[in-house]
Amino acid sequence: MIIFLLFDLPNDPKTLYELALSEFNNKNYKQAEKILKRIIYSFSPNEWTDKAQFYLALLYYERKNYELAKIEAEFFVNNFKYSEFYPRGLILLAKIYYKLSPNPHKDISELNKAIEILNRVKTLYPSYSQSADSIMFLIRKKFAQKILISANVYRNIEKPKSEAIYLEYYLNNYIDIEPDSVAYRLLEIYETLNEKEKIINLTELILKGDNFSSWVKKIALEKRDKYGYRSDRR
């Protein structure tokens, strides 16, 4: 690693940018930060300013300093809309909002901001849809977790009907996110409440679905044998 003092740095933004990128790629983040700030603050806005601003936000993200990353990424998104890095800046900002929402049960404002950004990306920049979808899936997992936390509250106070409402909502909206234990618990609740119609409907959903594991499909078969097919009751 080469250690640069401020007065050792080149006086050309293009050379500085190339040097900063090299330091960044080598994970020499302190050196990269110093050089990027030199580009941003020591020169008039030029063709390298937006790139330096993007990488400064990304640098803080890589260092897990999400609050600083948020400040720099928001500045980039608000001021460099015509940058070639702009779609990547939107994706980065959504990832930062996701990281700043460790507990969706308490506050989902940052997650909602991330969703709004990702929907913009998918509309305006279709080539980035796959990246947007991967982050959206992580966000949906957090919302799914929130539903399970609420369901567990009612389970602990032995309110199965209320618990079932949350678990049904889960399967209706997050069936692609680890649905096995949710479906199994719902079958237990329906049996406890003697909800035979709901048992039959759920077993059909499980047996036809691609998101369920073999173990829960086996249980669904057993329940179907016990309670009958939908066609048996026509």
pLDDT at 2: 45
Predicted model pTM: 0.83
Q: Burial code of 115-142, b = ≥16 C-beta within 10 A, e = fewer?
A: bebbeebbeebeebeebbeebbeebbeb
- 10-residue mean pLDDT profile of the chain (234 residues): values are 53 92 96 95 92 98 97 97 96 96 76 95 96 95 92 96 97 96 97 95 95 96 86 48
Give pLDDT, residue 228.
80
Tokens representing 178? 């680890």
* Distances from the Cα of 29 to the Cα of 42, 63, 150, angstroms: 19, 8, 41
Cβ proximity of 70 and 93 under 8 Å: yes
Of 221, 160, 214, which Cα lies nearest the Cα of 186?
A: 160
